[in-house]
Structure 1
């Protein structure tokens, strides 16, 4: 009889403990979200990038991209892929080698907080072609309009498609060529699009993008 009573007491205690623990978990709510990016640390870490990308991310060198006001999710992805080797670039691979994921996040969100300076289209003879490609694609080769992913004004879509407006034409053209030639391999969709474009079309749309705002 005593053993049965002891068993019942133990079972009741266990059940009560489970209810209390469950109630505590519910009261505590979900796990807290990760800490906000530290923009001050991001600015400090970006110091090593200034020589190529300028102090506020508005690169003045046509072959180096403007990074200011870029979607932070996109920047984090690119930095991680430079570090892993998925996106090949000898200079950038060396620059990111010592960065942690937190460093990358802090830098990316700091850059996103900086205002991008506008650019300008320069090629009058091809700007109309560039606009047609950007806004309407090249239907006879099943090339979708750039605007369908990067938006009509080039602002892009966070975490999916980067901001393009105002980007240096030389840099945009070089990336399209790298996608086309298989040098840059970290976006299958862009590889498939660029593979169908010739040099004149690439230069025309890159120049048009530089003037978007």
Structure 2
């Protein structure tokens, strides 16, 4: 039993390390990291070139109310998405949409996005400088 748990922890740590490696630099490394994460994605999503400007539009429409700098200063439990790794954010959105992660608000938000839109949002956030919430 302990051996099975340690293998699960090791595998989880390995995948987390792969997802948190420097994947924000290019879309091709974003695609490669998603493949390693074993998300079953349509090839059109993997081959889609993420569009940061489209991501910004979607963020302003759907995300900023909870994940914008002003809200993050008063709601410390909401994650700061700026500067996060794109593949990590994309994976989280996919898991919310598929019901693999549960949070009624995020499941609703992710449920309204296509996988290419999720990729745009994740790529946009990965290109942002992390917000300084100490001020």
Sort the TM-score into its range (normalised by shorter chain): 0.5 to 0.7
Q: Does the alignment pair 1:81 with 2:95? A: yes
2:5 is matched with: none
Secondary structure of 1:59's aligned partner: helix
Partner in structure 1 of residue 51 of structure 2: 38
What is the deviation of 1:96? Answer: 1.0
Question: More helix by proportion, 1 or 2?
Answer: 2
How many Å separate the matches in 2 of 1:55 and 1:95? 19
Aligned position for 2:10: none
Cα pair distance change 1:34/1:72, threshold 3 Å? same
Aligned residue number for residue 63 of structure 2: 49
The structure, 1 or 2, with the larger RCO (C-alpha pairs under 8 Å, 6+ apart) is: 2
Q: Which residue of 1 aligns with 2:24?
A: none
Give the whole-Å Cα distance in 2 for the aligned partners of 1:108 and 1:39: 9
1:59 touches 1:67 (CA, 8 Å); kept in 2? no
The 1-side partners of 2:69 and 2:56 are apart by 9
The offset of 1:55, in angstroms, is 6.2
User: When the two structures are superposed, what TM-score results if normalisation uses the length of structure 2?
Assistant: 0.58
Alignment gaps of 5+ in structure 1? 1-32, 121-213
2:67/2:79 contact within 8 Å kept: yes
Larger Rg: 1
Distance 1:35 1:65, change over 3 A: same
Q: Residues 24-173 of structure 1: matches in 2 within 5 Å?
A: 34-47=47-60, 48-54=62-68, 59-60=72-73, 61-118=75-132
Work out the CA distance in 2 between the residues paired with 1:84 and 1:91.
14
Q: C-alpha deviations, 1:127-181, integer Å up to 9, x for none?
A: xxxxxxxxxxxxxxxxxxxxxxxxxxxxxxxxxxxxxxxxxxxxxxxxxxxxxxx
Q: Secondary structure at the match of 2:95?
A: helix
Partner of 2:20: none
TM-score, normalised to structure 1, is 0.38
